[in-house]
Amino acid sequence: MSEKNSRYDFFIFEHIKILL
């Protein structure tokens, strides 16, 4: 679960960067 959470965090971070 930790690994999956990390992946989601990365995706979210990338999305935020794109939005910004």
What is the per-residue pLDDT for 3? 75
What is the per-residue pLDDT for 11? 92
Joined tokens for residue 9: 């965090």
What is the per-residue pLDDT for 1? 58
pLDDT tens readout for residues 1-20: 577 778 888 999 999 999 98
What is the per-residue pLDDT for 6? 82
What is the per-residue pLDDT for 14? 93
CA atoms within 13 A on the CB side of 9: 6
pTM of the model: 0.27
CB atoms closer than 10 angstroms to residue 20: 5
